Each structure stands twice: as C-alpha cells, then as structure tokens.
A and B are shown apart, each in its own frame.
Chain A
Amino acid sequence: AQSVTQPDIHITVSEGASLELRCNYSYGATPYLFWYVQSPGQGLQLLLKYFSGDTLVQGIKGFEAEFKRSQSSFNLRKPSVHWSDAAEYFCAVGASGGSYIPTFGRGTSLIVHP
C-alpha cells in the first residue's frame, strides 16, 4: 500500500520569499504524484501532477515540483510567495498499478507574513 508523509505541519514565510514544502512517499513502483491546495471552506484544487518523463513539473500559480526517485520525494517549490498563497497544501500518491485510489498526506499549512 502507498503512503505519504508531509513532515511539516506549519510553514511560515515572508511575502516575496521562496518556498519549499516537503513530501515523501512510499510505493513500490513509479507512482503518480500530485499536489493540491485547499483554501478555507473550499475543495482541493490541483496544482500539478507527475506521471512520467521530466522529473521537474510545472504547475499553476507559479508552483513547481521535482520528483526524486532516489529520495522518494516530491517537494513543492515557489520562488516568490504571495500573500494569496496562504492555504493548506496536500501531497498525494496514486498507484500506477491495481486499484487507483490516491492517498493523501496530512497537509502543510502555509502562513505568509507581509
């Protein structure tokens, strides 16, 4: 069974600073990987996804993530954070074989200081 670890419960950054949110996964084969963002009272919105190919994936809102097989990681990055990026971020892993049921991490809450 697959699993996801997001080691940081909260991250605080200043507006304009760079951001990296960590995600580690456990899965025996090449996984499908996703990052979602959730604003208060809203559903989850897909930021980006990795299926195969180029390990650096570009997403919406200026986000990118890099798949590193050797480290079982899929960290989310943004070079310059905006106040509107404050939200909850979830990493998810989906099995590339068998029943396709994405598993989510517990999330990282991003706080942006002006």
Chain B
Amino acid sequence: AQTVTQSQPEMSVQEAETVTLSCTYDTSENNYYLFWYKQPPSRQMILVIRQEAYKQQNATENRFSVNFQKAAKSFSLKISDSQLGDTAMYFCAFYNYNTDKLIFGTGTRLQVFP
C-alpha cells in the first residue's frame, strides 16, 4: 500500500528566509503524481505544486519549488522568500492510477515570523 510520510509536524521560518519541508513516500508503482497542498487557517485547501513522476525536471511555481528524488522516494518543498501569508498547514499527497485517489501525509504546520 502507498504511504506518505511527513516527519516534521511543525516548522518555523523568519520572513524573507527559505524553508524546506520534507516528504517521503512508499510505492511500487512507476507512474504517479505528487502534490503539495497548503491549508491556511481559513481551511481552504490550495494546490501549491504538482510533479509528474516521469518528469526528471523539478516543478517550480514562483517562490515554491520541489526537490524530487525518485530513487529515494523523496519529495521536498522549498519556499523561498517566505511571507507571512505562507503560514499554513502543508500536506504532501500521492496519486496513482491503480488506486485512483489522493493519499495525504499527516501535514507540517509552518509558521512564518516577522
């Protein structure tokens, strides 16, 4: 069974600094997708970034980028130039066509300090 592990329950970073959130996963599949979702205090889950496993190039969305290490089954999220609005829970998620559903990690609570 696929599992997603986020080993950092909480992280903090100062405004304008860079922070990296960790995620590892376990699967025997070769084709899958990985995601980072953000859930601010408003509860709205927002898709931050998506990575297709067949792509070697790491996905980037503005200040958000990933370090996708397929062999190591690692998928970390780097947030550059952190902003107060980045304060949220961040969930790593996994999808493949066999299970046809998203599997979420337990989340990392990120606090950005001024």
Bound pair (A, B) = no
Interface of B toward A, CB cutoff 8 Å: none
